[in-house]
Amino acid sequence: MFFWLQKILLLVAKQYTSIGGQAVIEGVMMRSPNAFVVAVRKADGGILLRRDQWYGLSKKLNIFKKPFLRGVLVLIESMANGIVSLNYSANIAQAGEDAKKGKVTEKKKEKVDLATFFTIATSFLFGIALFVLLPHGITAWISSMKGQGFELDGFKFHFIDGVIKAFIFILYIWLIGFLPDIKRVFQYHGAEHKSIATFEAGEKLEVANARKYTTLHPRCGTSFIFFLLFISIILFSVIFALIPVGVGQPPVIKHAMAMILKVIFTIPIAGISYEIIRFSGKHADKAVCRGISKPGMMLQRLTTKEPDDQQLEVALASIKAVLFLEEKFELKSAQEKVLKVEEVEIKSLFDIEDSNTGLTDFLEA
């Protein structure tokens, strides 16, 4: 009786958990407050689990638990987790391809080598060029055309810049969605959301339960990017109006300085965006918060696709594994790193022991 009463109360006052994840190549990464698991489907049908304890800076320094700072830390940690997870899944995928060709693949040590560093750096520069330099350059070109009366220190400039940036982002996501490999990643993204929704609904982590949930979730990284774009329009308009950049300098220098500042200001804007997503998630029953979440949820229709049952199984394995690690090693109370990285292969979701850990142990504070 108490179980059903608790479940009804959780459904009525919907809250979201401190568990999140990311789609990778043929798999899903899932992170709880103290555990970090990457689940990847092998070519032979098995599932590999890379299991680790998460002992981040917020466990060592309380200052990173403070509002706004925690959002910046989450962004940095998410990027680090993403690199580790993508490297791991890419190695598994490569091993599968080599096996099909009769090649023997030596297991690589987990480290960021020169090639990986170059790939990360190139991707970072590509992102800056596509989503900062290009929209700003187009806006500056439009503003220089005869008859246009808006400057860098005015709202109109940054509104147009934001609209162009959003258009480029949406077009980019839409186009890459046609690539078969990216489409599968988007399916795993949907599976990640469905598995988290199943847990947040207090249901048993099984494919049949997860299948019925939507692929959309208000705390998704896609929603985070929407807020990043929206807030940047407002803040850049205010910042560049109050603190004019490159006064007396040629237009090229002035705009170059502005673009550098935009990259730097992305960090505090990330902190603000995180707080908005966190707040709207905690108060999802409020009409205002549902309205705030709506645009980001609409964008997720581009970055999530309906997964098949095998993909759902992988996503559920990742969240089930982090819950198992949290309970088995009592990671919540651990004052240091007590678990080393380990790799476990399972045949199905049911090879992972069920956890007695309840939903209330992972609700957002």
pLDDT (tens digit, 9 = 90+) per residue, 303-346?
999 999 999 999 999 999 999 999 999 888 888 888 889 999 99
Three-state SS sequence of 125-142: HHHHHHHHHHHHHHHHHH
Among residues 201, 225, 209, the alpha carbon closest in space to that of 295 is found at 225
* pLDDT surpasses 80 at 216: yes
Q: Is 32 inside any structural domain?
A: no
Q: Is 125 inside any structural domain?
A: yes
- Number of structural domains (the chain) is 1
Q: Is 248 inside any structural domain?
A: yes
* pLDDT surpasses 50 at 237: yes
Q: Is 203 inside any structural domain?
A: yes
* pLDDT surpasses 70 at 276: yes
pLDDT at 109: 57
How far is 18 from 106, CA to CA, in rounded Å? 36
Q: Is 49 inside any structural domain?
A: no
| Mean per-residue pLDDT over the chain, rounded | 84
Q: Is 113 inside any structural domain?
A: yes
Q: Is 96 inside any structural domain?
A: yes
* pLDDT surpasses 70 at 10: no
pLDDT at 364: 63
Q: Is 211 inside any structural domain?
A: yes
Strand partners, 92: none
Q: How much is the pTM?
A: 0.86
What is the extent of the structural domain holding 292?
62-308
pLDDT at 7: 41
